[in-house]
Chains A and B, each alone.
Chain A
Amino acid sequence: AAGVIQSPRHLIKEKRETATLKCYPIPRHDTVYWYQQGPGQDPQFLISFYEKMQSDKGSIPDRFSAQQFSDYHSELNMSSLELGDSALYFCASSAPDRGVNEQFFGPGTRLTVL
């Protein structure tokens, strides 16, 4: 079965650079969530989208922005990167309108900021 796809899997950036993370949800899933997981920590909710509209916002810095496109893929844009942004970034998808409340996670993007 098709799963959530994330790219790139690994990303190394310098401080103050920008990064773009991409997420392709499971086919027919219209809701996308982004989570940030620091070393030894639980995943922290950043932002979510439903039908291309932002549906909720969590602890996402103003330096970050995201959107969901017409094909339901989503991109997380991160600017003015800081050392503390180094983490695993997970995207998850679900389809609540079809009763699929479960969130299925992608493999994650490991971002390292030097």
Chain B
Amino acid sequence: GENVEQHPSTLSVQEGDSAVIKCTYSDSASNYFPWYKQELGKRPQLIIDIRSNVGEKKDQRIAVTLNKTAKHFSLHITETQPEDSAVYFCAGTMFSGGYNKLIFGAGTRLAVHP
């Protein structure tokens, strides 16, 4: 089955710096890769996603890139702010009857220091 690995597990940056989180997946059939931000005790919130027919997608300070050949995708946050501090999860989908369960990476705890 699908396996998603995520690195690093923790990331500490200064406000204004960029942050990059990387994920790899194992199932070449996966075609949808969302990123979720989760604050302590709160629900995961979708911040950006990418489909396998696209190589890059950007939304303001957040961008995601996908390399299908290498089976890896990355989240890029520019001009980080303290409110970006949270745990970020990447995920991949493995087709299962058309209704795709999410397989999550282990998460990256991002700390943005003022």
A43 touches B44 (CB 8 A): yes
Chain A: minimal CB distance from B54 (Å): 13
CB 8 Å contact bits of A89-114 with B (1 = contact, 0 = none): 01010101000011111111010000
Question: What's the tally of chain A residues with a CB closer than 8 Å to chain B?
Answer: 27
Nearest B residue (CB) for A56: B96
CB contact under 8 A between A96 and B46, given known A42-B89, A42-B104, A42-B106: no
Interface string of A8-50 (1 = CB under 8 A from B): 0000000000000000000000010101000001111100101
Instruction: Note all chain B residues with C-beta closer than 8 A to A105.
Output: 36, 43-45
**Knowing A48-B101, A50-B99, A58-B101 touch, does A102 contact B89 (C-beta < 8 A)?**
no
Q: 4 closest Cβ contacts across the A-B interface?
A: A42-B104, A105-B43, A55-B99, A45-B101
Cross-chain contact B102 with A103 (CB below 8 angstroms): yes
Size of chain B's interface in residues, with CB distance under 8 A?
Answer: 24
Q: Are B43 and A101 in contact (CB under 8 A)?
A: no
Contact B101 A104 (CB under 8 A): no
Q: Which of B34, B41, B103 contacts A102 (CB 8 A)?
A: B34
Q: Which residues of B contact A33 (CB under 8 A)?
A: 101-102
Q: Main SS of the interface on chain A?
A: strand
Instruction: Determine whether the beta carbon of B102 is less than 8 Å from that of A106.
Output: no
Q: Is the CB of A102 within 8 A of B97?
A: no
Contact status of A55 and B106, CB under 8 A, knowing A42-B89, A90-B43, A103-B34:
no
Residues on A with C-beta less than 8 A from B93 are 101
A15 to B42, CA, bound (A): 25
B51 to chain A, nearest CB (A): 8
